[in-house]
Structure 1
Amino acid sequence: MATLYHHPLCPHSRFVRLILAEHAIETTLIEERAAERRREFLALDPAGRTPVLVDDDGTVVSGAMVIAEYLEETADPELNRLRLLPQTPRERAETRRLTEWFNLKFYEEVTNWLVTEKVYKRFLAPEIGGGAPDMDLLRVARANIRPHMRYIGYLTGARNWLAGETLSLADFAAAAHLSCADYLGDVPWDEYETVKHWYQRIKSRPAFRPLLSDRAVGTTPAACYADLDF
C-alpha cells in the first residue's frame, strides 16, 4: 500500500488525497509537520514540503502536481477510471494552467496565510516562526480570496467544470484550497452563488468524504464545513 506524508490542512496534500480517493487508491496517511524539518522526512524530500508519496515499490514522488501526474500516468487503464487530465493537448494545457493557478497563485495569496497564521504557528516554537496569528496578514488573505471567487464564478458560468466539459485536476486543486479556507470559516459563500453550486458538486463526491471528517489538532471546523447543503 502506498504511503502519503501530509498535513490535514495542507491544501496541496488535500489535492493529492482527492485524486487518490477518486482513483480508489488505498493509501496509508502519515501526518507530517513539515516546518519541524524531521530528518527522516527530509531524507524522502530534501525540500521538506508536503505532500510526499511513497509508492508500493518504494518510488518516492514529491510535489502536488508531480504526484498528480504520476498517478494519472500509472493508473491501471484496465480499471476504466475517470481520467483527470484530458486527452487533447489544448485541454491538458488549460487544466495544467488552472491547476497551477490554484496551487501557486491562490496558495500564495490566500491559503498559505490562512493556514500558517491560524494553524501552523500554534505548534511552532517562537524561534522558528511560532506565535500569535498576524491579523494584518489574515485581513489580506480574506480580501484576496474575493478575486479568486469571482474568477471561479466566471469559469463555472461558461463551462461545465473549471477547465472544460469534464471534471479535471483543476477542479480538485481549486476545491482543495477552498476546503482549507472553508474549514477555517473564511469563504464568503453568500456572495458567490455560482461558485457555491460548483463546490457543492465537488463536495458531494465520495472522494471528498474523508476530507469532511478531517479534524486538525487545536482547531474546530466552521459550522457548515461538513454540510453538503450549506
Structure 2
Amino acid sequence: MITLYHHWLSPASRLVRVLLTEKRMEFALRLEKEWERRPEFLTLNPAGEVPVILSTEGKPYSGVRAISEYLEETIPEPKLIPGNAEERYQVRNLVDWFHTKFGSEVTRHLVSEKLLKRFLGIGEPDSEALRCAAHNLKNHLRYIEFLTIENNYLAGGQFTMADAAAAAHITVIDYFGDIRWQDWPGAKAWYSRVKGRRSIQPLLSDRVSGLTPPSHYADIDF
C-alpha cells in the first residue's frame, strides 16, 4: 500500500490526499512534523518537506507538483487535467496560482503565525503578517467568485486538479476561521459543492490538538 507522509495543515499534502482519493487509490497516512528534521525522513526527501509518497515497492516520490503530474500520468482515470491543450493549460495555471501565489500570500502567513509559532514556541503571531494575509485573501476569494460566475468549478463544468489545489488551501484557511463566507456567496457556493466530495470529506475531520476549527468547518450546508 502507498504511504503518504503529511502533516495536518499542509496544503500540498492535502492536495495529494485528494488526488489519491479521487483516483481511488488505497493509501496510509503517516504524520510527519517537518520541523523536527528527522534523519529517516530526510533520506526520503532531502528537502525535508511533505508531501512524500512511498510506493508499495518502497520508492519515495516528493514535490507536490511532480507527484500530482506523476499520479495523473500513471493513474489516468478519472482525468483531473482533462480536455484539449488549452483546457489543460488552464487547469495547470490555476494549480500553480494556488500553490504559488495563494500559498505565499495567504496560507504561508497563517500557518506560520497561527500554527508553527505555537508548536515551536517562538513568540506571538505577527499582527502585520496576519493583516497582510487577510488583505490578500479577499483578492483571492474575489478571483474564485470571478472564475465561478458561469461554471460550477474553477476551470469549467467539472471538478479538476485546479479545484483540488484550491480546496487544499481553502480547507486550511477555513480551519482558522478567517473567511467571512457571507461576504463571498459565489465562492461559498463553489466550496459547498467541493466539500461534498468524498475526496474532501476526510480533510474536514482532521483536528490539531489545542486548536479547534469553527463550528461550520465540516458542514456542507454551512
So what's the TM-score if we normalise by structure 2?
0.96
In the alignment of these two chains, the number of paired residues is 222
1:203 to 184, 189, 195: 195
- In 2, Cα distance between equivalents of 1:220 and 1:165: 34
Contact kept in structure 1, 2:204 and 2:217, CA below 8 Å: yes
So what's the TM-score if we normalise by structure 1?
0.92
Partner of 1:186: 178
2:146 to 154, 163, 167: 154
- In 2, Cα distance between equivalents of 1:193 and 1:123: 34
Partner of 1:2: 2
Contact kept in structure 1, 2:53 and 2:61, CA below 8 Å: yes
Name the SS of the counterpart of 1:206 in structure 2.
coil
- In 2, Cα distance between equivalents of 1:68 and 1:37: 24
Q: Deviations over 1:102-158 (max 9, x none)?
A: 011000000111111111121115xxxx32211221111111100000001000113
2:44 corresponds to 1:21? no
Shift in Å, 1:164? 2.1
Partner of 1:89: 85
Name the SS of the counterpart of 2:73 in structure 1.
helix
Name the SS of the counterpart of 1:4 in structure 2.
strand
2:119 to 110, 120, 123: 123
Partner of 1:213: 205
Shift in Å, 1:64? 1.3
2:127 to 131, 135, 141: 135
Gaps of 5+ in 2: none
- In 2, Cα distance between equivalents of 1:218 and 1:63: 29
Residue 206 of structure 1 aligns with an amino acid whose one-letter code is R
2:53 corresponds to 1:61? no
Partner of 1:227: 219
CA RMSD after TM alignment: 1.3
**Which aligned runs of 4 or more in structure 1 are off by greater than 4 angstroms?**
none
Gaps of 5+ in 1: none
- In 2, Cα distance between equivalents of 1:218 and 1:91: 43
- In 1, Cα distance between equivalents of 2:57 and 2:81: 24
Shift in Å, 1:50? 1.0
- In 1, Cα distance between equivalents of 2:201 and 2:159: 17
Partner of 1:108: 104
Residue 118 of structure 1 aligns with an amino acid whose one-letter code is K
- In 1, Cα distance between equivalents of 2:53 and 2:143: 31
Q: Deviations over 1:19-39 (max 9, x none)?
A: 111112111111111122111
Residue 136 of structure 1 aligns with an amino acid whose one-letter code is E
Name the SS of the counterpart of 1:158 in structure 2.
coil
Contact kept in structure 1, 2:8 and 2:206, CA below 8 Å: yes
Name the SS of the counterpart of 2:200 in structure 1.
helix
